[in-house]
Chain A
Amino acid sequence: MPGFSLVHLEFLGWAAMWTLGLSAIAFVGGGLVGFAVALMRISPIRWVRYAAIAYIQVVQGTPLLILLFLIYFGIAIVGFQEVPALIAAGIGLTIYSSGFLAEIWRGCLQSVPKTQWEAAECLALTPWQRMTRVILPQAMRIATPPTVGFLVQIVKNTSLASVVGFVELAQAGKLINNSIFEPFTVFMVVAAIYFAICFPLSTWSRRLERKLNVSRR
């Protein structure tokens, strides 16, 4: 039986690209939805605020695995027979990320002092101008470290996409192991690749946080 070889490594490298791609989809999609939900969460209109709270609670309270199953089989029930795994996994991870990013960003928006919102309002800025010119520039500085930190969670959680038949890094490891039965070697390599992706991200996040603390004194 042939052992772990360059061919397998190449396969893992290719799967790692899908992990990255799926992470990117989850981050961009989750970011867009999450930002909208974060804005809804601090809306002055009560029912909008409550709808956002409900969304966040439901998403955060549902295991990603179950969310992925629900999307995968849910779409099939609605009538699409063959759901491409990428679509199902992309939607599932987008929803998952949006629930967490919404809550992270809500906190950052609200940590900009109320007096800043008022000062902008008193200068006759529109709500949009107030958000883009005054609040967001301040909130984004605060938001960057935890957001990059959450990216690490997204990358690791893409491994669950294998349950809907998506071949990413973890699933590729399983497939290789099924043929060569060298679980320790295979999964060590898989773990090393995850680490190579996540470590720079968490280092970056920590560095951003330090910088933020320094500039705030």
Chain B
Amino acid sequence: MSAVVKLSNVHKSFGTNKVLDGVSFEVGRGEVAAVIGQSGSGKSTALRCINALETIDGGTIDVCGHAVHDAKLDRRSLRRDVGIVFQSYNLFPHLTAEQNIMLAPSCVKKVSKSEARDLAHDVLRRVGLAEKAGHFPEQLSGGQQQRVAIARSLAMQPKLMLFDEVTSALDPQLTGEVLKVMEDLARGGMTMILVTHEMAFARKVASQVVYMHKGKVWETGPGSMLDSPKTAELADFVGSGL
């Protein structure tokens, strides 16, 4: 009952392309689950289903008390509890970093403007960008934009954070600063599911690794499973040095 996220036998197809083929896993409070796997194995789709960006064809998904598979799901209330960060940042280009962050708290939680601004500065400090509050996204580096995107999600005080290859578009130097923010978050007790290609990071931070292959959870276990894979596919995947 302490699971924040629980997927049971989730099925999802795009047309005739079966993308999720009976996916089950659960993530407990304060846990960090790293989802790994080849490109096309259904990792992003799984995350998007958790956040109801995609509807599923079968199975159940429970997230922070919301029955995501239910046709009567209140999407907005689900999204107040779940933050998501994408590979491409998706900051709003017409708003400054601070305004990007203030938008949801003032629109959704109806906090006052000054409160929202305080909140924005608070989360910007947490991601190490306090001095960039007035900058527009295009004035920031990729790593900085991604940290603002993380801060924007944090400002809604989510119970669960989803990260979809958030460092894949960044060069190694900028990757480090984003990973550090995520590590701090994990330390702070945030429940997180992250799709990542950073094996070292997964090993270090994840309490659970989920290896997906051909739309199935092929192998799952603690970070140490990467050192002693049970299946040939995971051995291959880890060995390929991705």
A residues lining the B interface (CB < 8 Å) = 115-116, 118-126, 129, 133-134, 137-138, 141
Contacts and interface: CB of A to CB of B under 8 A. Distances in A.
Given A125-B103, A133-B103, A119 B90 contact: yes
Given A122-B79, A138-B93, A115 B88 contact: yes
A118 B108 contact: no
Contacts of B75: 121
Given A122-B79, A122-B84, 20 more contacts: A118-B53, A118-B86, A119-B86, A119-B90, A120-B92, A122-B51, A122-B82, A123-B79, A123-B108, A123-B152, A124-B76, A124-B77, A125-B103, A126-B76, A126-B107, A129-B108, A133-B103, A134-B92, A134-B103, A138-B92
Contacts of B80: 124
Interface of B: 51, 53, 75-77, 79-80, 82-84, 86, 88, 90-94, 103-104, 107-108, 152-153, 156
B83 to A, nearest CB: 8
A118 to B, nearest CB: 6
B211 to A, nearest CB: 26
In terms of DSSP, what is the predominant structure of the interface of chain A?
helix
Contact of B104 (A115, A123, A141): A123
Nearest to B155: A123
Contacts of B104: 123-125
Nearest to A132: B107
13 contacts: A115-B88, A118-B86, A119-B86, A119-B92, A122-B51, A122-B83, A123-B107, A123-B152, A123-B156, A124-B76, A124-B79, A124-B80, A126-B76
Contacts of A126: 76, 107
A123 B51 contact: no
In terms of DSSP, what is the predominant structure of the interface of chain B?
mixed
B120 to A, nearest CB: 13
B90 A123 contact: no
Contacts of A124: 76-77, 79-80, 104, 108, 156
Contacts of A119: 86, 90-92
Contacts of B107: 123, 125-126, 129, 133
B93 to A, nearest CB: 7
Nearest to A129: B107
B142 to A, nearest CB: 15
Contacts of A125: 103-104, 107-108
Contact of A118 (B90, B91, B152, B153): B90
